[in-house]
Structure 1
Amino acid sequence: MCAVKSKIDIRSLTLEQLQAQLSAMGQQAFRAKQIYSWLWQKSSVDFEEMSNLSKPLRDTLKQEFAINAVRVQREQHSGDRTIKSSFALHDNHIIEGVLIPAPDRMTACVSSQVGCSLTCKFCATGYMDRKRNLNADEIYDQVVLIGKQAQEHYRQPLTNIVYMGMGEPLLNYSNVMKSVERITAPDGLNMASKRITVSTAGIAKMIKKLGDDQVRFNLALSLHAANDSKRNEIMPINEQNSLRALAEALKYYYAKTKNPVTYEYIVFNGVNDGLTDAQELAAFCKHLPCKVNIIEYNPIAFADFENAAADKIDRFADFLRQRGITTNVRRSRGKDIDAACGQLAIKETATPTT
């Protein structure tokens, strides 16, 4: 019995690679730009929609190529208007993404991996295994699908994208970078780079690589403690990426890009919420231009951390502000549907496509 020929994932190809593939098939190379426009500008996931291509060519494309589209398996709507989606991938893995509406913006929070290899003690995703990295088109699809939700439910376009969902983006560097390129490219979604924020738990050598690549999107570091012993306890990645190493990498990154950095800091009750902790954070902030986002802790079943009281969070923020550090307190969104920061975890399996 002859083996079934596997189809090429067409969105894994660059424009030049697609041109070469079409030429080898006896097709005119200029068709590649038309196909690329359908895939990345119009976000088409069906060759039959490509109406400026002949029917024989569309049939040939279906025979030779696959579009491994992401689909929404389940939507959950929060009382605060947040929408969490479970997305099914072509191989039946599940990831999650979130639409976060606010008066001045519509933000898509997207995942970069199926699960996570890091083991941050306060994060539900950190208690999952990492199954695989997402491809660039799977990250792109989340943006498109969440953008459709923003239009359908709130009649507004997406304004911002944050890579703060499942996974560590800098451990899927090439696919994250390609997804950003397709999202920002004029022949892609044409979003401004400054509307995109990539969040990392802190991989020093990859932060330096961001600097070498002179990225134009925003960088956020999930800090949560400016003390190595405390950070080691809640974020084991710190054992290989100490605060000193991170400070050095961030200074290198800033020297190359001139982009300020955002530090994300969850204030845990009795863990990192004291005056000494605030002083250590203020000292860390002196390394380069930055701002601090203080984030409420969102309880998960696997951990026994508690959120600090609101007045304590406010005092912590005021301490930083008094030292000239731009500080915002971010109230959590989507808690009632486990869509808030640190709560994304898979509790279901994919249903087959019919």
Structure 2
Amino acid sequence: MNQLEKKNIRHFTLAALEDYFLEIGEKKFRAKQVHEWIWQKYARSFDDMSNLGKELRAHLAQSFSLPALSIDAVQNSIDGTIKSRFRTFDQHLVEGVLIPTEERKTACVSSQIGCSLTCKFCATGYMERKRNLTFDEIYDQVAIINKQSLDTYQQKLTNIVFMGMGEPLLNYANMMKAVERISAEDGLGMSPKRITVSTAGVAKMITKLADDGAKFKLALSLHAANDKKRNEIMPINETNNIEALTDALNYYYKKTKQHVTFEYILFQNFNESIKDAEELVKLYRRVPADLVNIIEYNPIDMSKFAKPSEEKVDEFMHYLEKNKVNARLRRSRGKDIDAACGQLANKG
């Protein structure tokens, strides 16, 4: 039986594994041992499972696959950021980033191989979407980046952001299952409150998040507060306009009582005027947002956009603060290795 025909052992629940071991005449506790190996001890193969007998390991290897991500390349930034390019079992590449600060160690993870949304300012948007990542591949990214954080900074991850390659809400089931495994006590045990899922804005899936009682934080990649401009840079807005997103976000807050974060990249001569700031203030007041992250633009080869001047950025920030908007200017990290916001494109 080849690897593609075998069932992925990580897609079995603990209860299903217990049933399997009883069926083959093994003790039930073997299931817990295997479960620990694949989720907590982070086994890369059945041979790693040293407290199982040799024959049982060989049997598992014959019966199941364990298609873990491997590291294809690592780049280190002068600011301490670490970008990893991961290789999947079927030879696709995807990137994840460790972003360290004094207070936080954050993993930025991908949810898809490529992206279908074609946002004009994002390097991933110029790539073809090959496929969704499975929940265990998303988990792998976090586990590997957590190990990098421990090895490099002697600290575990404090936060996870789904802000890498792809649109998480277009890989809804795998994203939700990944969060469940990451936050499970028999997984990585991280609080959902330390996980942020960023979306370009899929209104019906934001509503579904609300109905499913999502516990993590939600961020909307806004980047323009009127439909004309947003359509220009984010084609998804044509089918998920600002009115539809406003309704979905208000519904989300009503059901979950969780505020939303807006993300807003400033582009020179496009969305950085005082009129743009005014529109952003109005939208902020219509939606239960608790924060606006103003993000420094990181130029990419394929895009015509440029960074605004420091003076323009200061004016924009001052206008938001004067109008009682909780705004924070986020300086990009990892720019020298193409690891900053919007730069992930498997360039290596």
Which category describes the TM-score, using the shorter chain as reference length? over 0.9
- What is the aligned partner in structure 2 of residue 351 from structure 1? none
Listed as ranges, the matches of 1:194-209 within 5 Å are: 194-209=193-208
Aligned residue in 1 for 2:26: 27
- Shift of residue 119 of structure 1? 0.5
Distance in 2, Cα, partners of 1:184 & 1:328:
27
CA positional deviation for 1:33: 1.9
Q: Give the whole-Å Cα distance in 1 for the aligned partners of 2:2 and 2:136.
A: 24
What is the CA deviation profile of residues 177-201 of structure 1, one whole-angstrom value per residue up to 9, with x for unaligned ones? 1111111001111011111100000
Q: How does 1:112-123 map to 2 (within 5 A)?
A: 112-123=111-122
5+ residue gaps, structure 1, are 349-354
Partner secondary structure for residue 47 of structure 2: helix
In structure 1, how many angstroms separate the alpha carbons of the residues matched to 2:297 and 2:57? 50
Letter in 2 for 1:160: N
- Alignment deviations for residues 216-253 of structure 1 (CA, whole Å, 9 cap, x no partner): 11111000001000000000000000000000000011
SS for the counterpart of 1:79 is coil
Q: Is the 8 A contact 2:113 2:165 kept in 1?
A: yes
Query: Is residue 108 of structure 1 aligned with residue 107 of structure 2?
Result: yes
Distance 1:148 1:28 in 2: 32
- Look up the match of 1:329: 329
Q: Does 1:86 align with 2:88?
A: no
TM-score by length of 1: 0.95
TM-fit CA distance, 1:151: 1.6
- How far apart, CA to CA, are the structure 2 residues paired with 1:238 and 1:80? 35
Indicate the residue corresponding to 1:308 in structure 2.
308
Partner amino acid, structure 2, of 1:94: L
- What is the CA distance between 1:4 and its match in structure 2? 5.1
Instruction: Determine the C-alpha separation between the residues in 1 that align with 2:203 and 2:105.
Output: 30
Task: Give the % identical residues.
Answer: 58
2:42 maps to: 43
Match of 1:168 in 2: 167
2 CA distance for matches of 1:23 and 1:253?
A: 43
In the alignment, is the contact (CA less than 8 A) between 2:262 and 2:289 conserved in 1? no
3-state SS of 2:118 partner: coil
Q: Does the residue aligned with 1:248 lie in a helix, a strand or coil?
A: helix
The verdict on how the C-alpha distance between 1:280 and 1:34 changes in structure 2, with shifts beyond 3 A counting, is same
Q: Deviations over 1:97-135 (max 9, x none)?
A: 111110110011000000001010000000000000001
- How many residue pairs align between the two structures? 346
Matched residue, 1:157: 156
Q: How does 1:268-287 map to 2 (within 5 A)?
A: 268-286=267-285, 287=287
Give 3-state SS (helix, strand or coil) of 2:324's partner. coil
1:53 deviates by 2.3
Q: 2:319 — aligned with what?
A: 319
1:319, distance to aligned residue in structure 2 (A): 1.2
Q: Which amino acid aligns with 1:75?
A: V
CA contact (8 A) 2:118 2:234 kept: yes
> What aligned pairs does 1:146-295 form with structure 2 within 5 A after superposition?
146-286=145-285, 287-295=287-295
In structure 2, runs of 5+ residues without a counterpart are none
TM-score, with structure 2 as normaliser: 0.96
* SS of corresponding position for 2:172: helix
- Larger mean CA deviation between 114-123 and 289-298 belongs to 289-298
1:17 equivalent in structure 2 = 16
Query: What is the CA–CA distance in structure 2 between the aligned matches of 1:290 and 1:242, rounded to whole Å?
Result: 21
Q: CA deviation at 1:13?
A: 1.7
Matched residue type, 1:229: K
The residue type paired with residue 297 of structure 1 is: Y
Q: What residue identity is the alignment partner of 1:169?
A: P
Query: Do structure 1's residue 63 and structure 2's residue 56 form an aligned pair?
Result: no
- Specify the code of the residue in structure 2 equivalent to 1:161: I
